Structure 1
């Protein structure tokens, strides 16, 4: 499992012009699932994300976790995180899990985040989405379970 985490001051996702999720201060998570990912991978990343200290303390050092600053999560499924561009000009997505495997694992991952006490908003799996965000910092971190 691969997650691109962006610290955000505001973010939203729309499908067909309708907002399906929005957050103020928090993390936007672009979530990719590959063939051999399991619930163990999702649990690992959920725990890692909830514990990361990416918010400033009173001394201006990244020393606070998301729950300490009242942050929330916007989770967006994104199979293109497993796009391979080594050959040719068109990406291959063969490493991305098929939707029947990826969607339940993405849903499980979102529930694992909620079980860490986090509020989670989402996009819609498999939909064409418009994602807007203000990257705070900017802070962008790649989190992988392998």
Structure 2
């Protein structure tokens, strides 16, 4: 599971558990209009969400804990008083940890060291351009 799939799964879980008045297609349309999603990634995340719904409460708790840790680390990274380059490095470390834990929970593709998804490379490029 790549980072973008994990984040989309995160969105699907939040949408499913908070009972937002959005269907999957409405959610896809909203995210697509924001330029944040590709159809194949969204469909894959929906498949993962279907798998998530069949998890035991213990596995659901692990997923929720991973999401909370990721969000807490993101907030911590954003609020640190340090150069943007250091923040980017911390972001990648946090994202890879998130990806690894989600892979372990969902028993998806094993983690390959130094294999960064295209989504992360796009974020890195965007952040570097923003700092110029």
Q: If each structure's helix is expressed as a fraction of its own residues, which one has the higher value?
A: 2
Greater relative contact order (CA < 8 Å, ≥ 6 in sequence):
1
Q: If each structure's strand is expressed as a fraction of its own residues, which one has the higher value?
A: 1
